[in-house]
Structure 1
Amino acid sequence: MTDPHPGDHRLAEQVRIVGSGLLGASIGLGLSAKGVDVIVDDASPSTRSLAIAYGAGRAPAAGDAPGLIVVAVPPDVVAEVVAAELERFPEALVTDVASVKLFPLEQLRARGADLSRYLGSHPMAGRERGGAVSARADLFVGRPWILAGHDRISYRRAAAVEHMALDLGAVPIQLDAAEHDRSVALVSHAPQLVASLLASRLRDGSASALGLAGQGVRDTTRIAGSNPELWVQILGANAAEIAAVLKPLRDELDVVIAALDDPEAPASRRAIAEALVAGNDGVARIPGKHGQDKRYTSLVVKIDDRPGQLARLLTEIGEEGVNMEDLRLEHSPETKVGFAEISVLPEAAHPLAAALEQRGWTLMEAER
């Protein structure tokens, strides 16, 4: 196969992707765009055909000899599929992209699989919607990609997985399988459950109450729209680590509930204040753009809900020489306006605000 982008990628291997949902198809799209020879396979022929139609790669053919195999299947069948691929292609390195790493590694050990050719990995990227129709070649750009090393594989033998992550624009991070599972329980799995439980309270809300929903409730419940079937598998595979995060949260919630039941009690206001301050401290520890621990200032700009207005705003921010660190959009359900919350470095906020007002934009107070 002729490489349309010679020298544009680190991977020298032919890549086989097993599973053509969101992650598998996105990996295929990104690598194919770089000129890597990508084979797409799936237990469902129609699902495979759809991913190929979107440009994720090509169908398997006689004579394929992949050097790297990416298993992108549901968590409950990861070990089975990895073991089958290791046996079918005895020269290939095999990775999987499931969000739990210790469980499949232990299953593979029990099966007696050749772990010298297996390295579990996990790209910390995704979307609320799944499937090849939602796949994006840039899904992994700037996102962490964990390489879950173990004692049966060498760094040199596992290099192709790191090369793949780099080719896709991700940031490789090395953690062992147990540390990975503890970490994602804290930053991904427990938040998924909390968001879902909070969103479930909205089921009984009146239409008038839900009509008041602003960016705060949207932010805290956004991930509650994720696939329940997939998450049941993920949560079950990492149950102990997730419970270790949720039990202290339950205890802290009990303290706050007790304080709210009797807000005039001597210690109640302090208990509530301490819970809020602890939240401030936690948020302050979340790294910003590119993993940097920087705080940004937000400007909220009112935008008319008509074509071209957001593009005009972003163009004019660029003309002022300001680098936008983040962007959030909110639409008012009652009026034809929207609000763009622009995050910039603190030193750029005041000059940009003045420049935008001079250009005719209306700035609002940021919602807290």
Structure 2
Amino acid sequence: MKKIFTENIPTKLMALVMAVALWLYAINRHTGDLTTTVSLTVSVPEGITVVEQSTSKITIHLQGPQNVIDTVDNMIKDRKISARYVIKESPDGIEDQLKQSIFIKKEHLDLPPAVKLISVYPDKIDVVLGKLQKKKLKVVLQKKGEPAVGYNIVNEFIFPGEVEVTGPLSALKEASSINTVSVDIGGISGEQNRTFPWRIEIDQKVTINRGDKTISVPVVCKEDVRIWLQIMEQQDTRLFVKMRVKVIGPAEYPYVIKLQDEFADVKVKGPKLLLDKLNTEDVILYIDVSSLKPPGPYKQPIKCILPKNIELVDKLPEVHLDIRETLHSVEAR
């Protein structure tokens, strides 16, 4: 048994090496195909920016040893492989805009040597380069959400009102303003009046109109702004119809009062939250007859008692009344 393992050792080692080599050769000879999509980044020198790019993704067809193709596939899924094209155009060669077409090759993908690039789609990518400039733009506050029920934003203030922006010459010639990032005002109430100012960043793009299209162009702004919002309770009005007019006089008033119209309409205003809770019992209409004596008729203004922070919208009308002595008061004479 010992002879079996100890005889012809060099020959046996050579056979093992050849077997491993053949196995590796067989693996590498097995060709794999991969069609997938990768992101495309176009880099430009300082002083230039990419205004438009026909696509930010390309579809590539690769071939190579199956084990290498599998590795490349995993690297693309992990975003470790993408396409990157470097433009070397000088800013001095661009007056305003410059359109170029680029073609992606294997060297732009950083692929292993064993992988072959069969095709790229689209095979031509159009880019528009723009020369950069600086410009002051007005700041516009962007809001999302709604204030708490019963509250409104009645005023807003932004400081500074203008910021310096760096962007393509062609876009900044047409732009007059730039937005802040969206500020969430959902559910805010008067309590927030004490928390201002808020520091808000500037959105890194400007929006311009090109024909029937609206285009967003990337820009750079290194400033931020502070904002103040004036939040007040929402004001509203409410109409109370056919409210009874009460007659108020001194105790044991000896005269009889007859109103020509015992009812009146009253319109009030105030915070919406208060008005929504207001009942007819909270609104009192009356006339004071303390100083009136027969004979009549009289014309008296209607007065009103309202809860705090509620006001009349319109002046109340006058009421016509007759006044006469009671039988008891006549006999007392």
TM bracket (short chain): under 0.3
- Structure richer in strand, relative to its length: 2
Higher helix share: 1
Q: TM-score, normalised by structure 2?
A: 0.17
Pair member with larger Rg: 2
